[in-house]
Structure 1
Amino acid sequence: MLPDLLTMGGLLDAAAARWPDRPYLKEEDGCSLSFAAFREAARRVSRALLARGGRKGDRIAIWAPNSGAWAIIAAGATQIGLQLIPLNTRFKGAEAEDILGRGKVRWLFTVRDFLGFDYAGMLAGRDLPELEETVFLDDGFDGWLDAVTGADDAAVSAAIAGVGPDDIVDILFTSGTTGRPKGVLSSHSQNLRTFQGWADAVGLREGDHYLIVNPFFHTFGYKAGWVVSLQQGATIFPVSQFAAAKVLATIAQEKITVLPGPPTIFQSLLDEAGRKPDDTASLRLAVTGAASVPPILIRRMHDELGIAEVLTAYGLTESSGCVSATQAGDPVELVASSCGRPIPGVEVRLVDAEDRDVATGEPGELLVRGFNVMKGYLDDPKATAETIDADGWLRTGDIATQDERGYLRITDRAKDLFICGGFNCYPAEIEARLLEHPDVARVAVVGRPDERMGEVGHAVIVPKPGAARDDKALISWCREQMANYKVPRTVEWVDELPVNASGKVQRFLLK
């Protein structure tokens, strides 16, 4: 890691000084920026925001697919103390309105159209009094950058100097059992220290060619993607939309060496009919996670894709995105059955229902303590206190075991979540939306196994009297109301939900 780089501004300056002419960013359209040029592009964003009255503590949101502009805006805003709120590109209007409103976002950066989504149109008429301006990355962005003057390079440097390692850099919203997403507060130093530990564990190197398929709105594509590449001196290749044939062509053409992603990505590459053995010859490292990884998939990644190191990692938004990772050289069975050892500086405990430490190899709730534990939830001290105890231990809600070498294995998922195509799906959030449908009286959502997606949602519904019980119509309504990965793939209509003596739904019976 470059020395003493604990803020985004310090990282950009040091990376540009060390690797000024090395390519940092290569776009799908062929455009390229060096480390020095990326720094200057970020400072241009900083000047534009300062000229519009931007100040430390203000918030921006980005609702757009992966691109160089996404990273430039995020870097330019955060290096002068503004806080970043990424929005999932699958969100619908109500989901985005909720986060933009609670986040008191001043500037929204988006695109006119992506996959048929009209983001601005979905927000039309919604109550967002704090939102001053919507800026389109694919329509007039250069004009926006130059439209206002009054902030020079000295002003940018002064603003950067006013940002400290413990200042909040981003707020990533994550769902929970209440069904309402919570904003996780992370600092500059937490992000940079956490993913330096991740990079050291998995072996991301200077000069690597890193294809970023994971979305920038997620920790995996943002912090473990373009940010850590600034730290390590890797060249990034953002992918706006995954298509197996196109990704294979890029790997071959650009000699990609690093490709992280959920298991579904690699399964799709293996299944691509047009794949040739030499398409993936340059790949050295894959890091996967977000779902259990069967040993056969790891062996196929080794044998058929030619990837020398296939590793896994574990983290949650509240831990700045990473707690543990497997190491280069770990055998296939270990990688498939564990999520590695804690990164340096991070402690873990496994406890029983009475908060007593369990014996090695025995299951217990995983608690985490260290520099990576979030600062708290946005405007929610009660939830923060329920999640982080007085001694600084973060309750993950995950049940795990730990062997004598320190390797963790997650045995049960946190708070009933299931993972569809690499995205966390929280039943309570989906159920809250389904209860808005006029046919739904009560509902429980569970994840069921799916060969390609890992798991998909299954909705078990108690209908209101006279309901149509129309599966297709209900699923179609869901697609209009929520991100596609949250939409239940199947529906079951029942007279009653199975509950225990205290009235809680017995989800295990629904699976």
Structure 2
Amino acid sequence: MTTPRLLEVFGDLVAADPEAVVLYDGQAGRAPARPVTRRRLGELAGGLAEDLRACGVGEGDCVGVWLPNWSEAVAVQLAALSVGAHVIGINTRYNVDEVAHVLRMARPRAVLVAHDFMNLDLLRTLKAAHRAAETEPPAVLVVTAPGTQPAEPGQVAEYDLGAGAAACPRSADRGELRPHPAPGLAAAFTTSGSTGRSKLAAHDEPGVTEHVLAAGAKIGLQPGDVMLGALPLSGVFGFSSAMAAVFAGAAVLLEPVFDADGVVRDLVRHGVTHIVGADDLLGRIATAWEAERPRLPLKWIGIADFEGRSAELAAWAEREFGTTVAGVYGSSELFALTAFWPDGYPPEQRWTGGGQVVMPSIEVRVADPVTHEELPDGRDGELQFRGPNVVNAYLGDPAVAERMFTADGWFRSGDLGRKVAPGTVQYICRIGDVLRLRGFLVDPAEIELRLAAHPAVAMTKVVGVPGPGGGTIAVAFVVPHGSDRPGEDELKQWCARTLAKFKVPARIRFIEEMPTTSGTNGTKIRAAALRELALEETTAP
């Protein structure tokens, strides 16, 4: 069966109901979001396609998209496909060094930049990043917020890096969206970069098409549903969930700024039925919801565990609204919705990372991370994948693929997990985070869940460091609830009631807040920073 072209699918949706709302340009709850119909999105994308052609963008070129969650950020994906180009999302929070890295590796022919957004001086950052990257200058297309007046000509001219600058879209009515004759790369995402420079993982158009169509169908998205688009579209979580909704015929509520109170108002006002995101995002929504406790029309939530709160928040959503909550699994190199748990699994498993792959063409196996031997179902090892969801190229550094793929063509995820059924995996943790205690592999989340169940513990993270005897010891960091701080021995005894003796943390340290990093997919706890702190304490006289 031939995979349809993404623009063909969009064209069919427009033909079926051109006035159906596909996007809402949100305003952080301050006013009703501006609806964008399928016809309007097509016109916007057509105008952007003409702007890209005017910049010399063509087959195989890259387009940098440095925009918040505005409708133009969706339209430019369609526009790039029409001219045979691919996009690389750039987070509006990126600093000079991070933007320079993207310019150096992706070599975009053109960059779309948000003008006058949140008082961010993106112009200064762009100019400094271009100087640092030492690459040929891209053309710059200056975009203003939906519904506002374009930048003045003098303001636009300031963005010229040497290849020209223009306000866009110049016309919303020009251009026709047609699939490019030669489908190539479509979208690229920066990886977390926690162990060095971020990689730029690129996926081709057939892979993007297969994945977003399969993910939308697997979730059960349909016309009338609304997906929350609060995570940046520049990241794989925001991109995957938004595109799955658009091409399933549903709508996406785009939130360019995450104001939790405003988002809760918008959830009610625009009837949001679906959310995909990490527990940090859902936690902020849950806290804001407490003020007035409105009835939220949520049908389904796909949740990733970044802060150890997934079970608590999943129970809240299912209890308060009857929402189905499923743990998800994915990455920049595999797409964010590679797998999620279907109904029928017990909550304690369904709320964790992993699940059933979204399409049969995704193959998964588990291999011993040391011997690389394939392991039977139920054994813990590295999750490895083959299929249309797997990264096709690394922009600027093709040699990366040699490290990321096995000799027989399987992608090494770097994740520890197990197969629990055909095409169904249980994610445990990153291989680098697993604890080897007394010769046993231990998921730190097992210890964290026990600590988090103590009424005086607000948040916890467990890391492993070398102990005095040469083996690994577990060190737990705990953020207490208010001033009610339990003793270290009390928490150790709490753990010992249900955990094996060797799993009880050797040390428990109290901190006021967790060190975190904010990325395109949400806020994560910086385990590396905690390891450094634990090492300082364990090696101190």
Q: TM-score range by the shorter chain?
A: 0.7 to 0.9
Corresponding residue for residue 12 of structure 1: 10
Instruction: State the identity %.
Output: 20
CA distance in 2, matches of 1:483, 1:295: 19
Corresponding residue for residue 340 of structure 2: 325
Asked if structure 1 preserves the Cα contact closer than 8 Å seen for 2:226 and 2:274, the reply is yes
Provide closer, same or farther for how the CA distance between residues 287 and 492 of structure 1 changes in structure 2, counting only shifts above 3 A: closer
Per the TM alignment, residue 326 of structure 1 is displaced from its structure 2 partner at its CA by 0.9
CA distance in 2, matches of 1:148, 1:39: 12
Asked if structure 2 preserves the Cα contact closer than 8 Å seen for 1:258 and 1:285, the reply is yes
Per the TM alignment, residue 495 of structure 1 is displaced from its structure 2 partner at its CA by 12
3-state SS in 1 of match to 2:231? coil
Corresponding residue for residue 162 of structure 1: 181
CA distance in 2, matches of 1:109, 1:269: 30
Per the TM alignment, residue 220 of structure 1 is displaced from its structure 2 partner at its CA by 1.3
**What is the one-letter code of the residue matched to 2:125?**
M
Corresponding residue for residue 459 of structure 1: none
Per the TM alignment, residue 390 of structure 1 is displaced from its structure 2 partner at its CA by 3.4
Per the TM alignment, residue 205 of structure 1 is displaced from its structure 2 partner at its CA by 2.1
Per the TM alignment, residue 195 of structure 1 is displaced from its structure 2 partner at its CA by 2.4
Provide closer, same or farther for how the CA distance between residues 53 and 392 of structure 1 changes in structure 2, counting only shifts above 3 A: same
Specify which of 121, 132, 139 is matched with residue 138 of structure 2: 132
Q: Does 1:314 align with 2:337?
A: no
**What is the one-letter code of the residue matched to 1:230?**
V
3-state SS in 2 of match to 1:242? coil
After superposition, residues 418-437 of structure 1 pair within 5 angstroms as none
CA distance in 2, matches of 1:199, 1:104: 32
Provide closer, same or farther for how the CA distance between residues 294 and 84 of structure 1 changes in structure 2, counting only shifts above 3 A: closer
Asked if structure 2 preserves the Cα contact closer than 8 Å seen for 1:7 and 1:79, the reply is no
3-state SS in 1 of match to 2:337? coil
Corresponding residue for residue 72 of structure 2: 69
Provide closer, same or farther for how the CA distance between residues 10 and 354 of structure 1 changes in structure 2, counting only shifts above 3 A: same
After superposition, residues 109-124 of structure 1 pair within 5 angstroms as 109-124=112-127
Per the TM alignment, residue 33 of structure 1 is displaced from its structure 2 partner at its CA by 1.8
Scaled by the length of structure 2, the TM-score of the pair is: 0.72
**What is the one-letter code of the residue matched to 1:163?**
A
Q: Does 1:196 align with 2:213?
A: yes
Corresponding residue for residue 106 of structure 1: 109
Asked if structure 2 preserves the Cα contact closer than 8 Å seen for 1:289 and 1:312, the reply is yes
Provide closer, same or farther for how the CA distance between residues 415 and 181 of structure 1 changes in structure 2, counting only shifts above 3 A: farther
CA distance in 1, matches of 2:404, 2:525: 28
CA distance in 1, matches of 2:377, 2:527: 39
CA distance in 1, matches of 2:270, 2:98: 37
Corresponding residue for residue 456 of structure 1: none
Per the TM alignment, residue 303 of structure 1 is displaced from its structure 2 partner at its CA by 1.1
Per the TM alignment, residue 132 of structure 1 is displaced from its structure 2 partner at its CA by 3.0
Q: Does 1:381 align with 2:398?
A: yes
CA distance in 2, matches of 1:492, 1:217: 28
CA distance in 1, matches of 2:8, 2:282: 35
Q: Per-residue displacement from partner, 1:240-264 (whole Å, max 9, x unpaired)?
A: 1222211111111111111222112
Per the TM alignment, residue 340 of structure 1 is displaced from its structure 2 partner at its CA by 0.7
**What is the one-letter code of the residue matched to 2:167?**
W
Corresponding residue for residue 230 of structure 1: 246
Specify which of 341, 346, 355 is matched with residue 362 of structure 2: 346
Per the TM alignment, residue 307 of structure 1 is displaced from its structure 2 partner at its CA by 4.1
Provide closer, same or farther for how the CA distance between residues 318 and 345 of structure 1 changes in structure 2, counting only shifts above 3 A: same
Provide closer, same or farther for how the CA distance between residues 217 and 15 of structure 1 changes in structure 2, counting only shifts above 3 A: same
After superposition, residues 158-307 of structure 1 pair within 5 angstroms as 160-164=179-183, 167-176=184-193, 179-225=196-242, 227-272=243-288, 275-280=291-296, 282-291=297-306, 294-304=310-320, 306-307=321-322
Per the TM alignment, residue 331 of structure 1 is displaced from its structure 2 partner at its CA by 3.2
CA distance in 2, matches of 1:44, 1:378: 27
Q: Does 1:144 align with 2:159?
A: no
Unaligned runs of 5+ in 2: 28-32, 153-165, 435-443, 446-462, 464-474, 482-514
CA distance in 2, matches of 1:450, 1:35: 47
Provide closer, same or farther for how the CA distance between residues 397 and 101 of structure 1 changes in structure 2, counting only shifts above 3 A: same
3-state SS in 2 of match to 1:96? helix
Q: Per-residue displacement from partner, 1:457-477 (whole Å, max 9, x unpaired)?
A: xxxxxxxxxxxxxxxxxx9xx
Asked if structure 1 preserves the Cα contact closer than 8 Å seen for 2:366 and 2:383, the reply is yes
CA distance in 2, matches of 1:384, 1:216: 25
CA distance in 2, matches of 1:119, 1:373: 32
3-state SS in 2 of match to 1:340? strand
**What is the one-letter code of the residue matched to 2:9?**
L
CA distance in 2, matches of 1:402, 1:384: 25
**What is the one-letter code of the residue matched to 2:349?**
L
Provide closer, same or farther for how the CA distance between residues 254 and 323 of structure 1 changes in structure 2, counting only shifts above 3 A: closer
Provide closer, same or farther for how the CA distance between residues 141 and 172 of structure 1 changes in structure 2, counting only shifts above 3 A: farther
Provide closer, same or farther for how the CA distance between residues 309 and 484 of structure 1 changes in structure 2, counting only shifts above 3 A: closer
Paired residue total: 440
Once the two structures are overlaid, the 10-residue window that deviates more, 366-375 or 72-81, is: 72-81
CA distance in 2, matches of 1:366, 1:85: 26
Corresponding residue for residue 366 of structure 1: 383
Corresponding residue for residue 80 of structure 1: 83
Once the two structures are overlaid, the 10-residue window that deviates more, 37-46 or 284-293, is: 284-293
Asked if structure 2 preserves the Cα contact closer than 8 Å seen for 1:15 and 1:230, the reply is no
Corresponding residue for residue 90 of structure 1: 93
Asked if structure 1 preserves the Cα contact closer than 8 Å seen for 2:67 and 2:114, the reply is yes
Q: Does 1:27 align with 2:25?
A: yes
CA distance in 2, matches of 1:310, 1:197: 19
Scaled by the length of structure 1, the TM-score of the pair is: 0.76
Q: Does 1:56 align with 2:56?
A: no
**What is the one-letter code of the residue matched to 1:50?**
R
Provide closer, same or farther for how the CA distance between residues 88 and 414 of structure 1 changes in structure 2, counting only shifts above 3 A: farther
